Structure formats: C-alpha cells, structure tokens
Amino acid sequence: MALARGLWPAHFRLPRKRESWLEPWLTGANAGVLAGGASSDGSWASQEPTADSLIVLAPAARESDELSLEAFLERSMAIKCAVLDKRSLTGYRATANRLLEFARLGGDHQRPAGEFTSRNAGAFLAWILQSGISAKTHNNYRAMGSAIFSEGQGAGLVPDTFKNPFAATKARKVKGKDRDLLTELERKQITAHLAAEDDRLLMVCELIFYCFIRPVEIARLRIRDIQLERGEIQLVASRAKSRGRVVAIPEVFMSRLHALNMHLLDPDWILFSDAHNLLPGERRMEPSTMAIRMAERFAEVRTVLGIRSQIKLYSFKDTGADVARRAGLDLKEISEQMGHASLNETDHYLRPISGRAGSRFAEKMPKL
C-alpha cells in the first residue's frame, strides 16, 4: 500500500519555524555516525555514536525551511543517537527505515513532515501488517513512531501546533501467542518447497528449528560465530532477550553447515548479509530490519503453499523445541538452548506431554 497522494492535504502548508531550542546539524565525518545517516541502500547507517564523534547539541534559534519527512526522520534519529545507548536504538532505526521506505513508495519522502497525518500513520501501520508481523510488533512500531515524532516536535522540527500522527492510531489487541506450532505435514510441505526454490531461506528455517535461534539473532550472525569444530554457535549479547549465550548444534544439522564451506569465507562476514539473496557478505543491514525481511519472504512462501497465517518464521523455534521434547530431551536442556530464564517460560510454548526422559541435546535432536 503506497502513500496515497490524497492523504496529504494539498492546501496545507506549514509556517516557517521561528525558534528551535535544539539544532542537531550534522557536519563532516560525524554526520553518518551521529545521525545513523542514510546509507547507500537507503537505510540508516548501523554505526554507533562514540565519545569522539558526538557533537554538542546546543540550544539555538534559527529560521529554517520546512523539513521534508526524510530530513525530519534523520534529525530525530540524530537526537535519539545522542541520548540512547546502542541496544535501545535498534527498534527506532527499524521504524525510521520502514517509515522512509513507505514514504518513498509514493514519492512522498520529500513532502513536509508536518503534512504527515494520522491517516498516513494508519496507512503505514496497515502496510506494515501486510508483512505478517504480530500484533505486538505492530504496537511496537506504533509506539516508536510516536516517540520519533514526539522527539522531533520537542526539538522544534515541526510547529507546536503539530499533532503527533501516531497518537490517533489504535493499538492492536494482543491475545497470548499469535503464532502456532507447525504440524508434521506443514513442516514437510515447507521444507520440500524451500529445498527446491529457496535453499538460503531453508537454511534460516533450519537454524531456527535446530538451534532455537531467534530470527533477529540469525541476522546478527557472523561467520566466526559458528564454531563447527566445537559444535557451538556463539550469540553475541545485544538486547534483553539475547544475553550472549552459546547454543549447541545438533549432530543431524552439522553436515548441512559443513556444506557451506564457511572456512573459505572471511570470519567477519555476516552469514546473511542482504535480504535479496541471503548470501554471506560484508554489508550488514540493521538486524531487526533483516529479520523483518526474512519474515516477509517466509510469508510469501506460506501464501504460495496455503499455510495457515498463524505459522510464522518464529514458529520454527517453538516447533523445534516441541519436537525435541517429544523426542526425549530434558526440559532443562531445551530451556537453556532457547535462552529462557525459567522452565515455566519454556513450557508455555510446548504442547502437553507425558513421561520424562533426558539426554544430551546435540545427540537427540531429531531431523526437521
């Protein structure tokens, strides 16, 4: 859904701004670092601000032209980069990237930011929902979009009379889990289709299923993180849900990883470096954005196969845990592999099962 021209009130024009207490102008080499400035692929750069690169955002009064939506997002992100830590910026960058992408679909990224209304915000959220995201993720986009516009308004980038476009949008009701476990038939359908049509996406699904790795964690993986000689994958700490853990590689999955010949690649390369072909490379897309692209790609496959909408890319993680439990793996081992803080959290994702058994995870994990 592109940004319809009719949603922009053509007669409405913003007055020239009079004063601004904050002027996040970016100059020289600091521009891309502080602003998370737009890179060659149109997304905000992933570099983080450092003590040497931060410039002082001093109060200033300035007459300026109306800011385009693109410029508004860049300056709002500049402020966020100056006040938030690396982990907190991930969601804001993903939201800014998608907002910019949405506006560019209709060629409206150069229109004044003050003309972005609640109808535009609603259209953006509806467009985001088409990618198959959960209600919870939808609400996160809504909250972060609101925060970005509030930050810009507080900095004087739009008039005081400007109304936050996300404030009038509605949050979606979250009813427990919004994804379901795959049936055995669905697993066979998906794996057979991907083996023939999209082997790289199949690799993503297998990593999630066998190693219980979240899509956003997969998007962060570097070649060096996959330690085949030790049978482990090192997940680097980033956000609260990925505390920096080591996961075991099941023996049934080892041959698949060996076939990638990763020893021939640069250890600093990203395992899935771009959303188009999911091949290894140097370029790194924002992990949360890459995870969304993977989910969108899987949603297309799900539609082609006529699979239930409750089946998400993330469903492979829950399904893998459930299959492992039924194959006799101990719940404590599964919980540790999933990175959960408690057994109760793990048990929430599994079907009821009777009996007990336990053995080493890597040896007993069954085939997808």
pLDDT mean for each 10 residues of the chain (368 residues)? 37 33 31 38 41 34 63 86 70 88 88 89 90 82 89 84 88 70 93 95 94 89 93 76 75 92 92 87 80 89 91 90 85 80 70 45 66
- Alpha-carbon distance of 102 to 1, in angstroms, equals 8
The pLDDT score that the predictor gives to residue 364 is 61
Largest pairwise CA distance in the chain: 73
Cβ burial 210-242 (10 Å sphere, 16+ → b, else e) = bbbbbbbbbbbbbbebbeeeeebbebeebbeeb
Type of residue found at 223: I
Q: Left (φ > 0), alpha (ψ -120 to 50) or beta: where does 109 sit?
A: alpha
Q: Left (φ > 0), alpha (ψ -120 to 50) or beta: where does 71 sit?
A: alpha
| Two tokens, residue 198 | 């999209």
- Alpha-carbon distance of 97 to 109, in angstroms, equals 12
The pLDDT score that the predictor gives to residue 255 is 92
The pLDDT score that the predictor gives to residue 190 is 96
The pLDDT score that the predictor gives to residue 18 is 31
The pLDDT score that the predictor gives to residue 176 is 55
The pLDDT score that the predictor gives to residue 307 is 92
Domains within the chain, CATH numbers bracketed: 5-154 (no CATH), 184-364 (1.10.443.10)
The dihedral formed by the CA atoms of 190, 289, 172 and 79, expressed in degrees to the nearest 10: 170
How many C-beta atoms surround the C-beta of residue 59 within 10 A? 10
Quote the Cα angle for 314-94-285, to 5°: 80
Q: 275 by DSSP, 3-state: which?
A: coil
